[in-house]
A and B are shown apart, each in its own frame.
Chain A
């Protein structure tokens, strides 16, 4: 609890929350040149050409963990009696495969690996939410202070899915796949027809285009915002609970109880969000493969 009490005593609650919600941003600041942002304002001033180093590190690290584990299993995969690692991987693959078979009727070898990647990667990134909110930022701050940085201006967000860049990035890739397969399977004409000729027939063309356009564009938006919103809100609640520590014994105890309760509930949420992202991706791709509507 030392990390929490340290921050709570030194910082105002607003500054504490702000600190937690700022990424480790590397970018070109109009005044300071290429540097890490010291606060949220500096990060915002860097504009589009800035990189969230913490998001990159954690997401790619976790993605690599997923790939490393499954690749190791794939290399040693045997049709005989599987070891514990293979058993675990097969359990997940069976689960994903079942969902793909249940929701995806066309034939495409890309969909199942895509679904597996989404499920495992999103789950791992969400899982970071169960690490105590202050632990990783505090450790990182201490490490950086060795190199002479002020821990209060070192930012570190360990849950990549609370960064909209991650969720939008994934949703946009899925959306690109949806558009690609829509064109490929329905043809340009078929896709155009689907967007304009229904549900009201050819005389309701503008209304059709509006409705179908909105429904098409809402796919990536809902996909990314749902995951982002859930994880962001979850992290926010962990931060708010962390604010309770260090004032009185009663608040400490209730804070611990709340944190435990929320963490247990969160296990459900992080799994569910990973699952929903996967299933919706499969469903959207299935819709893109349907030739008639």
Chain B
């Protein structure tokens, strides 16, 4: 209950405790608190940003998909067109080729015919000469003559 020198020692102890607290205790802990506050704020901002970016990405993906679809449709249409073109061209080519072959065959047939006719004429002339030769050699005998003519005609 007495006030004595304890008062002074208590004051000194108190001052020392406050000094120590101010120097070594308070700053590190409040610094950690502030850093955590900053970290949390940063994290929240990042989350917000991430959400926005995700939304943007989704939008972009949708756009890309739509574009890909229209592109694909266009490519298919183009291919269809090209197919038709190619088909038409092939058909035209084939017709022309067929025509050409037909023409070639026809002219060949004509040539063959002409040649056969020529050969026939030559052979007929030969036969006529031979027949005339025989007629001249045997004299004219009606029956013999007739048989000759028949065989001549048969050879035609």
Q: Across the interface, do B21 and A70 meet the contact criterion of CB distance under 8 Å?
A: yes
Q: A63-B13, A67-B20 are in contact. Are A51 and B25 (CB under 8 A)?
A: no
A66 in the interface (beta carbon within 8 A): yes
Q: B35 to chain A: which residues have CB within 8 Å?
A: 79
Q: Which of B3, B9, B24, B26 contacts A168 (CB 8 A)?
A: B3
Q: Across the interface, do A165 and B6 meet the contact criterion of CB distance under 8 Å?
A: yes
Closest to A112 in B: B26
Q: Which of A59, A110, A112, A168 contacts B13 (CB 8 A)?
A: A59
Q: Across the interface, do A77 and B22 meet the contact criterion of CB distance under 8 Å?
A: no
> Chain A at the B interface: mostly helix, strand, loop or mixed?
helix
Q: Across the interface, do A170 and B6 meet the contact criterion of CB distance under 8 Å?
A: no
A80 in the interface (beta carbon within 8 A): yes
B69-81 Cβ-contact flags toward A at 8 Å (1 or 0): 0000000000000
Q: Across the interface, do B28 and A51 meet the contact criterion of CB distance under 8 Å?
A: no
Q: A243 to chain B: which residues have CB within 8 Å?
A: none
Give me the interface of B with A, judged by CB distance under 8 Å: 1-11, 13-15, 17-18, 20-22, 24-33, 35-36, 39
Give me the interface of A with B, judged by CB distance under 8 Å: 21-23, 25, 27, 40, 43-44, 46-52, 55-56, 59-60, 63, 66-67, 70-71, 73-75, 77-80, 82, 86, 89-90, 93-94, 97, 109-110, 112-114, 116-117, 121, 163-166, 168-170, 172-173
Q: A49-B4, A52-B6, A165-B4 are in contact. Are A67 and B29 (CB under 8 A)?
A: no
Quote the shortest CB–CB distance from B72 to chain A (angstroms).
50
Closest to A44 in B: B2
- 17 sampled A-B residue pairs with Cβ under 8 A: A22-B1, A27-B4, A49-B5, A67-B21, A77-B28, A80-B36, A90-B32, A97-B30, A109-B26, A110-B22, A113-B22, A113-B25, A116-B25, A165-B3, A165-B7, A169-B9, A173-B15
Top-6 shortest CB links A-B:
A169-B10, A79-B35, A113-B22, A77-B32, A165-B6, A74-B28
Closest to B22 in A: A113
Q: A163 to chain B: which residues have CB within 8 Å?
A: 1, 6
Q: A74-B28, A77-B28 are in contact. Are A66 and B17 (CB under 8 A)?
A: yes
Q: A73–B28 Cα gap in the complex (Å)? A: 9
Closest to B8 in A: A169
Quote the shortest CB–CB distance from A182 to chain B (angstroms).
18
Q: A82–B37 Cα gap in the complex (Å)? A: 13
Q: How many A-B residue pairs have CB under 8 A?
A: 138
Q: Across the interface, do B33 and A56 meet the contact criterion of CB distance under 8 Å?
A: no
Q: A112–B21 Cα gap in the complex (Å)? A: 10
Q: B24 to chain A: which residues have CB within 8 Å?
A: 71, 74
Q: A63 to chain B: which residues have CB within 8 Å?
A: 13-14, 17
Sample of 17 more A-B contacts, CB < 8 Å, known A74-B25, A90-B32, A110-B22: A22-B1, A46-B4, A49-B5, A51-B9, A56-B9, A70-B21, A71-B25, A74-B26, A82-B32, A93-B26, A97-B30, A112-B26, A113-B25, A114-B18, A117-B17, A117-B18, A163-B1
Q: Across the interface, do B11 and A169 meet the contact criterion of CB distance under 8 Å?
A: yes
Q: Across the interface, do A173 and B28 meet the contact criterion of CB distance under 8 Å?
A: no
Q: Across the interface, do B30 and A60 meet the contact criterion of CB distance under 8 Å?
A: no
Quote the shortest CB–CB distance from A191 to chain B (angstroms).
22
Quote the shortest CB–CB distance from B155 to chain A (angstroms).
125
Q: A282–B34 Cα gap in the complex (Å)? A: 22
Q: Across the interface, do A55 and B10 meet the contact criterion of CB distance under 8 Å?
A: yes
Closest to B12 in A: A169
| Residue among B5, B8, B29 with max Cβ neighbours from chain A (10 Å) | B29
Q: A165 to chain B: which residues have CB within 8 Å?
A: 3-4, 6-7, 10
Q: A78 to chain B: which residues have CB within 8 Å?
A: 32
Q: Across the interface, do A169 and B14 meet the contact criterion of CB distance under 8 Å?
A: yes
Quote the shortest CB–CB distance from A172 to chain B (angstroms).
6
Q: A77 to chain B: which residues have CB within 8 Å?
A: 28-29, 31-32
Q: Across the interface, do B9 and A79 meet the contact criterion of CB distance under 8 Å?
A: no
Closest to B36 in A: A79
Q: A22–B7 Cα gap in the complex (Å)? A: 16
Q: A6–B5 Cα gap in the complex (Å)? A: 33
